Structure 1
Amino acid sequence: MGMKKLIYIFIVVCVLPAFGFAQEKNASKEELQVHNINGKEYYIHIVEAGNTLYAISRKYAISVDDLKKENPRLSEALTIGDRLMIPLNNIKVKDLKKSPEIDGNFLLHEVRNKSTLYSLAKEYNIEINDILAANPALDQGLKKGMTLKIPVAKIKSEQNTDEYIKPAELSPYITHKVQGKETLYALSKKYNVEQDSILKVNDGLAGGLKVGQLINIPILKETKKEPLETAVVYDSNAVKQGYALSLLLPLYVDSLENLTDTNYHQTQKKRKKLLNKAQYGIEFYQGFKIAADSMAKLGLNLEVRLFDTAHDTARVNQILKDSSFKATDLIIGPLYLEEFMLAADYAKRNKINIVSPVKQSNKILLGNNFVSKVATSEPIRNRFLAQYMADSLRGEQVIMVYPDNFKDRNRAKSLKQIYYDQTSALQDTNAAGGLVEVMWMQGDFDKLKEKLIEEEMNTLIVPSDNQAFVTQFLTQLNLLEIENIQVFGLEEWQNFQNIDVNYFQNLNVHLVVSEYIDYQSERMQSFERLFYRYYELMPEKFSVLGFDVGMYYLGLLNNYGLNFEVMFLGLQEEQLGRKFEFLKTGIESGYENHSVYLIRYADFQRYRVY
């Protein structure tokens, strides 16, 4: 019954509906779209490489002074990626109609009637020879309708300063969200900058550091910059009447439909193999559909378009070339790295937000601030473990044990450094000296036994995902039958099939994980009942993931529209199996989720500690 039901669901959900989407807007018209922000009307200009204050002021027919007044951060430097607010009230409408466009370091001027090189040089305060040098076609004479390049760098500023014609530069900061018990000292060590430098670019931090506060960390140079909160504004124009969402999942529909084999058993074998491969996509969609239906009841007007990627880059490229795909407001998937990179590049070019719902390399976030990654990376989980060691295991006998291999040595080294940074920040020298290291070699168990103290709690940190080592180590440790012991391990241990479950109970094992489902909670049990009504099946983990991703992102669309930067930096939620706590990974990079749990094994169940 279960497999038949699964196949039925698969056939139903994989029919791709041909939704009618609006045509892609003209790029220039979209750029001059009116945004209502805090009760005032603005155009929004995204600063690109080569832009200057002068060029932007000419493009929008607004004075540089008015531009700087509305955007206080411009008192320091124009940086690539800045969102400049152009107030409509200050625009000279008559001049706007004939204002030049910007092309890198040039203004593009369309020659009008009675224009001469002299009048153009006077208009832009530039030498005639500089115009001639940038426009070789002028050898044939100046003609109406020609587009001339005006080199901004050659313009002579009336204010006698280079500030107005200086090209935009990379931002000199990264943004840091303050975590619990973080100090200026710890931040200065983490980013290798002086404490005074951090204070200088954050107006002295008169109120001190506060958990959740966003502060600037100087990277390239020390300059004063407004906190990020002032740059992140709510844009009412990003709230729409309805939204289009594209879901890219590996479903293998064509392969299943085209199965042909004279041998019935061979056909069934191939079908089963394809369905196993499609299982994750099917389960994810099942949970996501329930979330979409739930949000529709709350008033969200949503069109979901389901695309079968078939784990095929050629298929993904074909999907991305579909003209209707450009009209989407949000992309979820694909699930495989190579395919996701193709879709992410497309999303960046077309300024569409895209979600990676599964574990992927953090390289998907680099240089693409339209990407958000739901699965928490190993460095984030390890940082949590080190902070927990410093904050909650102080005063205990803490022994870190790891095998002698490159990967585990590096992980242990990183963990130890973060631990020492945390204990130094807490000014707890006793805690910092309480960490004992044991690099595990074959036959070293007696050396470890000597370090255990029967009368005290012995805490063993084992930062290894080497299954052979972990299995052997826990087996030998369990033979000691020591009561005062607790072992902290990694998320990967959950998938080790050859470890006796009794060891996890006897050794009081704790694991740092990125997701946790409490099957005893009323909320989860309610979801299981609803899921069964939909599919006559009980939900799997990927169905819970699909539901969680759907509820979070669709909830954001319903409440905040496409104000994604506001969402990620200002809203934290917890769904059935994971938290959603996003932090930006870099100036021009995407957002990573910091969902972390600490679970403990007892009474043959998993309990949430944190």
Structure 2
Amino acid sequence: MNFNKVIFILAFLFCVTLQAQKFETHAVKQGETLESIAKKYQVTPYAILKLNPEVKNGVKANTIVVIPVSEKSQTQPGGNSNIAGPEGNVERFIEHKAKRKETLYSIAKEYNISVDDIKRYNKELYSRQLKRNEIVQIPVFSAVANTGSVPQVREGLVAHRVAPKEGPWRIAYEHGITVDSLKTINPSMKEVLKEGDTLWVPFVAGNNKKPVEVDAYNYYTVLPKEGFYRLKVKLGVTQAEVEALNPEVKTDGLKAGMVIKLPKNKMGELTVNNGQLIEKFSLLDSLNYDQKSTLAIVLPFKLDELNFENIDSNKEKIKRDKLLSVSLDFYTGALMAIDSVKKLGLSLDVKVFDSGANDAKVGQLASSGKLTNVNAIIGPILPSTFNRVSSAVRSSNTPIFAPFSNKGLQMYSNVYQTLPPDDLLREKMLKYIKNNATNKNVIIIADKNNAAIKSKLQALVPGAKVINPIEDKFIRLDEINPFLSSEKENWVVVETNSIPLLTNITGVVNSAQTPEYKITLLTTLKGDAYDSDNISNMHLSNLHFHFPTIDKLSDVNANFSKQFDAKYGTTPNRYATRGFDLTMDVILRLAYNKNLDYVSAKVSETEYVENKFDYKKGLSGGYYNTALYIVKYDNLEIKEAKNDANLNSNILGSTSN
């Protein structure tokens, strides 16, 4: 027989065997050894070691090991991998203390039983509601005959339904096992989990699950042969810090695959994805040069309105027509990106279409079928025309990217909103303030239109002082002076989009700053009022003004700016730079994998000249860019603000191109 075929058959048989293997979990008790556990489950010590390499130096009490179920043990009474339910015998009870806002339904879901099961053994709950701190008896059923439905419990394991944004590390951490053990129990587990996937996990009583607190900590999966010294070099975290947050490490030591909790500010050069510290991911290092991608760019060039025999007339039209001007600027940047990727050796076919100035033009394009055989679409710009095109390609699930809109979009499953929504800008800035307001004297100034955000700030920063503008028009210097501290840095958070009020506030606060009083100005959302000529950039710079933004200014001496100037004879504006950044990102994602749903889950944040992208799937469909910057004025320049307590809790990787 052909040698390659032999290898293939053996590999196939191995996979089948692996899929058929069944497992149990065992909580190690004091005095137990590897040999005694193996004898109990009628397997060899080697079989346990194979699934739990971390116990090669012996097992330790209060840890969990994965046990392969032998054919012999499966035939013993109670050894079936079957569902548990009300028809089974109750083996024991677990005492559950009801928490605030907890319901019978949520408790039943936590223990994979029904509400009726709980009421059956807590009869007082038939006639009244569950009370906070009440002790509820939770029945644990023995296995019964399999009915052919999806199993919910099997020999110490329970079925766990994957929640949104839940990765393997989080599931392993909550259930007290390593990621490797989770993979062993679930050999067909995919690299990227999807909401609704079902995995086997050890049974852990709800109150005993280890909570994941991504707002307060980061989490890290220990690599093979990684000790405390390596963690110190890699993350800047000491052994004492690790052991303080992870008591099991003090008794059991570090194990490969173990998920440990770490302080937010200890992350080294790693990046964060939903609380997990991981190595940075580079798209440029992962491109598939053998596949060809097709990209469509749809912009309102309004070619029907241009007179190609009269250049001066066209120049005047471009100056007057803001939409046309933005489209051309964006397109020049896109062309720079296309040239760049072709120099990398990528195979790319680009189709450019004019969406025109009205819905009729874009309607013709949408119904023409010209956009059906492309891998991705960028544009159109206006929400109305964008929605027309996104609806037309919805049935083919062609990814379509909105270059400038974060409002008015129909968020179909194939839509990518590339501008973060305003709510997210505010949310990230609120987190920045919360994480960095320690030892700051916080003063809030908000008009009546921003009463809601004022309340949020007061809740986040207890003890913050509040100044209410007089008739929503102005504040006085003698109102702010009594609130200033000479011992702490003063943070003045301003919430208004009124030009007269903002002009007054920035002037007054700037006047209040003296060598004795250090003042920083902040806002959770920088509105159009800040662009008014009445607002002094000198005042904003003096006050080191901090705000969230979708992009940051790039250096005019950067490579992109120099190359753009050499090609077009001018420096790129923000629209041209965005055209480069967005087009480059879409092309590189396609070159990595044409399934952009997979890419969004796997790659996440990428960063270019002035923009970065980190797409997360929305609850109602479509993808939202969640990547943004917190920036500050510094000597009349805008620079990225350093965050003392890591902000980017939803980042998987970063690619600087």
TM-score normalized by the length of structure 1: 0.57
Secondary structure of 2:259's aligned partner: coil
TM-fit CA distance, 1:494: 5.0
CA distance in 2, matches of 1:198, 1:335: 51
Q: Which residue is 2:522 aligned to?
A: 488
Q: Which residue is 1:174 aligned to?
A: 164
CA distance in 1, matches of 2:404, 2:457: 24
Q: What CA deviation, in whole Å up to 9, does each residue of 1:240-299 have, x standing for no partner?
A: 732221111111111113999xxx99x679735555431111011101111111111222
Map 1:352-431 onto structure 2 (within 5 A).
352-361=398-407, 363-365=409-411, 368-405=412-449, 408-417=450-459, 419=460
1:247 and 2:297 matched: yes
Cα–Cα, structure 1 residues 410 and 342, in superposed 2: closer, same or farther, change >3 Å? farther
Q: Which residue is 2:550 aligned to?
A: 514
Higher helix content, 1 or 2: 1
Give the gaps of 5 or more residues in structure 1. 1-38, 41-65, 73-158, 165-170, 185-194, 216-235, 420-431
Secondary structure of 1:324's aligned partner: coil
Q: Residue 165 of structure 2 aligns to which amino acid in structure 1?
A: T
1:459 and 2:509 matched: no
Cα–Cα, structure 1 residues 281 and 477, in superposed 2: closer, same or farther, change >3 Å? same
1:435 and 2:464 matched: yes
TM-fit CA distance, 1:300: 1.7
CA distance in 2, matches of 1:253, 1:197: 66
Asked if the contact 1:241–1:301 (Cα under 8 Å) also holds between the matched residues in 2, the reply is yes
Q: Residue 578 of structure 2 aligns to which amino acid in structure 1?
A: L
TM-fit CA distance, 1:506: 2.3
CA distance in 1, matches of 2:167, 2:511: 44
CA distance in 2, matches of 1:350, 1:517: 37
Asked if the contact 2:522–2:546 (Cα under 8 Å) also holds between the matched residues in 1, the reply is yes
TM-fit CA distance, 1:415: 4.7
Q: Residue 487 of structure 1 aligns to which amino acid in structure 2?
A: L
Q: What CA deviation, in whole Å up to 9, does each residue of 1:438-483 have, x standing for no partner?
A: 3323464343332122443211111333333211211222233434
Which residue of 359, 373, 377 corresponds with 1:313? 359
CA distance in 1, matches of 2:206, 2:470: 45
Asked if the contact 1:249–1:334 (Cα under 8 Å) also holds between the matched residues in 2, the reply is yes
Q: Which residue is 1:132 aligned to?
A: none
Asked if the contact 1:510–1:599 (Cα under 8 Å) also holds between the matched residues in 2, the reply is yes
Q: Which residue is 1:346 aligned to?
A: 392
Asked if the contact 1:239–1:561 (Cα under 8 Å) also holds between the matched residues in 2, the reply is no
1:474 and 2:506 matched: yes
TM-fit CA distance, 1:333: 0.9
CA distance in 2, matches of 1:269, 1:557: 36
Secondary structure of 1:458's aligned partner: strand
Cα–Cα, structure 1 residues 197 and 340, in superposed 2: closer, same or farther, change >3 Å? farther
1:502 and 2:502 matched: no
CA distance in 1, matches of 2:207, 2:610: 40
Asked if the contact 2:605–2:627 (Cα under 8 Å) also holds between the matched residues in 1, the reply is no
CA distance in 2, matches of 1:239, 1:272: 38
Q: Residue 510 of structure 2 aligns to which amino acid in structure 1?
A: N
CA distance in 2, matches of 1:275, 1:251: 10
Q: Which residue is 2:623 aligned to?
A: 591
Cα–Cα, structure 1 residues 258 and 475, in superposed 2: closer, same or farther, change >3 Å? same
Q: What CA deviation, in whole Å up to 9, does each residue of 1:126-172 have, x standing for no partner?
A: xxxxxxxxxxxxxxxxxxxxxxxxxxxxxxxxx966779xxxxxx99
CA distance in 1, matches of 2:327, 2:314: 20
CA distance in 1, matches of 2:437, 2:521: 12
1:328 and 2:374 matched: yes
1:207 and 2:259 matched: yes
CA distance in 2, matches of 1:409, 1:480: 24
Secondary structure of 1:401's aligned partner: strand
Q: Which residue is 2:578 aligned to?
A: 545
CA distance in 2, matches of 1:385, 1:197: 33
Q: Which residue is 1:533 aligned to?
A: 566
Cα–Cα, structure 1 residues 247 and 504, in superposed 2: closer, same or farther, change >3 Å? same
Cα–Cα, structure 1 residues 240 and 337, in superposed 2: closer, same or farther, change >3 Å? farther
TM-fit CA distance, 1:360: 1.8
Cα–Cα, structure 1 residues 199 and 496, in superposed 2: closer, same or farther, change >3 Å? farther
Cα–Cα, structure 1 residues 498 and 197, in superposed 2: closer, same or farther, change >3 Å? farther
CA distance in 2, matches of 1:242, 1:294: 16
CA distance in 2, matches of 1:338, 1:364: 9
Give the gaps of 5 or more residues in structure 2. 1-10, 23-145, 152-160, 175-204, 213-218, 220-257, 263-270, 276-285, 643-657
Q: Residue 401 of structure 2 aligns to which amino acid in structure 1?
A: V
Cα–Cα, structure 1 residues 213 and 551, in superposed 2: closer, same or farther, change >3 Å? closer
CA distance in 2, matches of 1:198, 1:557: 43
CA distance in 2, matches of 1:285, 1:529: 17
1:287 and 2:333 matched: yes
Higher RCO structure (Cα 8 Å, ≥6 apart): 1
CA distance in 2, matches of 1:160, 1:480: 76
Asked if the contact 1:491–1:514 (Cα under 8 Å) also holds between the matched residues in 2, the reply is no
Further displaced range: 561-570 or 370-379? 561-570
Q: What CA deviation, in whole Å up to 9, does each residue of 1:395-422 have, x standing for no partner?
A: 11011211112xx2233334555x3xxx
Secondary structure of 1:348's aligned partner: coil
Q: Residue 440 of structure 1 aligns to which amino acid in structure 2?
A: P
TM-fit CA distance, 1:335: 0.9
TM-fit CA distance, 1:436: 2.5
